[in-house]
Structure 1
Amino acid sequence: MEPTPDLSHLTRRDYDRIYEPAEDTFLLLDALELDANALRAAKPQICLEIGSGSGCVSTFLGKILGSSVLYLCTDINFHACRCTFLTGVQNQVILDPINTSLDSAVQYRLMHGVDIILFNPPYVPTSSDEAEDAQEARTIEGSWAGGFNGMELTNVFLERVERLMSFQGKFYLVAVKQNDIEHIRRLMLHSHGLKSEIVLQRRAGREYLFVIRFTR
């Protein structure tokens, strides 16, 4: 059992600017741990986390898979990129953060080349204006403000993810019940040919969280 990454280098001032790991983060860690043997057996070469925040998730995956893998981590928030890098250093995992929105800086170079994709998106339903303002400001609000049905930013990435995935690729998505899990799964199957399975689900306060794994 892999321990949760050491985040003791991050301070309250950091968490005023980036998303602090919470129940959704830990559910994703648990899902990756459940799949750990299959992930190792697939011998992935490139992993990509969208919206890495503190770097906790990619660091955890790095501990599972080891140093032979390239760990790319994007975040629109520059401070999150800095914290991601430092979390890797703190835990002896080499992470490569990229300050960009979603996969914008890498989508063409990585076409059909990414073996593991991780996305814990801003899934909280808000107004569209609030979600758009949060992304433009590149601040902590962008880590949770999801717009209509909490899906506005997620929908943008769902249109791109199949082009990123390698033949053996796996895509892990965190979602809440209000996002309409079955609609997401049908959309990805019918529009992009990606099969899916709910790896884990858990109630956390008022939220009911899911981790969905998509494969070809």
Structure 2
Amino acid sequence: MIPTPDLSHLRAEDYEHVYEPAEDTFILLDALEQDADELISMKPRISLEIGSGSGCVSSFLGSITGSSAVLYLCTDINPRACRCSLSTGYQNKIPLQLVNTSLANPLLARLHKSVDIIVFNPPYVPTIRDEVSAAQLDREIGGSWAGGEDGMQVTDTFFPQVDNLLAPHGRFYLVAVAQNNIPDIQRRMQEDYALESKVVLQRRAGREHLSVLRFKRA
């Protein structure tokens, strides 16, 4: 069993501004661990986490793939989250590289179809559209959960970027809840981008029914 990254350097004050790892984080860790042998055999050179928050997920991924991944990229719209992710990488001896930005906007040209592993635990909670806009503009903790109509507003914006970034042999891991309409996500990704998918893990956490989807090119 791969240990959860050490987050002892983060304080209660950090979690007032940055999403604290919870069940949606841990199901993503479990999905990555479940695929550990495959991820290692891929010999990935670039990984990218969108919305890295505390840095827990990318640090965990780094503990799986080790030095085989040349570049561990993380983005987050929240500058406090970028600082927390950077310090978590340092705490766990994983060289995370942080970009304070929305999704992967400044990376698209340089990383065109070259990212081996993409992970995204998006803001998936259904909210009103204005709440999403406000959360993204604030660049604070609300941006980690406010998802707009069906909880898909931010995720839908990222899907075209996945097609732009994902390497031919790459893998994209996405956390979703039942309200996001998972069959529709899978259908659209197949029809629009020829990305086939599988629900690799499911878990109930309180009122949420969490799933991790894994996408790859058909």
Which residue pairs with 2:178 in the alignment? 177
The code of the aligned residue for 2:40 comes to R
Asked if the contact 1:169–1:215 (Cα under 8 Å) also holds between the matched residues in 2, the reply is yes
Which residue pairs with 1:141 in the alignment? 142
Q: CA deviation at 1:107?
A: 1.1
The answer as to 2:66 corresponding to 1:66 is: yes
What SS does the corresponding residue of 1:112 show, helix, strand or coil? coil
Q: CA deviation at 1:188?
A: 0.2
Which residue pairs with 1:82 in the alignment? 83
Asked if the contact 1:113–1:164 (Cα under 8 Å) also holds between the matched residues in 2, the reply is yes
Task: Please show how residues 6-155 of structure 1 align to structure 2 within 5 Å.
Answer: 6-69=6-69, 70-155=71-156
Distance 1:103 1:159 in 2: 11
Asked if the contact 1:81–1:97 (Cα under 8 Å) also holds between the matched residues in 2, the reply is yes
Which residue pairs with 1:205 in the alignment? 206
Distance 1:160 1:76 in 2: 16
Q: CA deviation at 1:160?
A: 1.6
What SS does the corresponding residue of 2:49 show, helix, strand or coil? strand
For structure 1, the residue ranges without an aligned partner over 5 or more in a row are none
Q: CA deviation at 1:108?
A: 1.1
Greater displacement, 65-74 / 149-158? 65-74
Distance 1:65 1:150 in 2: 31
What SS does the corresponding residue of 1:160 show, helix, strand or coil? helix
Using the size of structure 2 for normalisation, the TM-score is 0.98
Distance 1:89 1:104 in 2: 25
Distance 1:160 1:73 in 2: 15
Asked if the contact 1:67–1:94 (Cα under 8 Å) also holds between the matched residues in 2, the reply is no
Q: CA deviation at 1:71?
A: 0.3
Task: Please show how residues 155-194 of structure 1 align to structure 2 within 5 Å.
Answer: 155-194=156-195
Deviations 1:148-193 (A, max 9, x none): 0000000000122111000101000000000000000000001100
What SS does the corresponding residue of 2:209 show, helix, strand or coil? strand
Distance 1:138 1:108 in 2: 24
% identical aligned pairs: 61
Asked if the contact 2:55–2:89 (Cα under 8 Å) also holds between the matched residues in 1, the reply is yes
Runs of 4+ off more than 4 Å: none
Q: CA deviation at 1:67?
A: 2.1
Asked if the contact 2:43–2:68 (Cα under 8 Å) also holds between the matched residues in 1, the reply is no
Deviations 1:39-83 (A, max 9, x none): 000101000000000000000000000023110000000000000
RMSD: 0.5
Asked if the contact 1:49–1:119 (Cα under 8 Å) also holds between the matched residues in 2, the reply is yes
Asked if the contact 1:63–1:93 (Cα under 8 Å) also holds between the matched residues in 2, the reply is yes
Q: CA deviation at 1:38?
A: 0.3
For structure 2, the residue ranges without an aligned partner over 5 or more in a row are none
Distance 1:18 1:199 in 2: 27
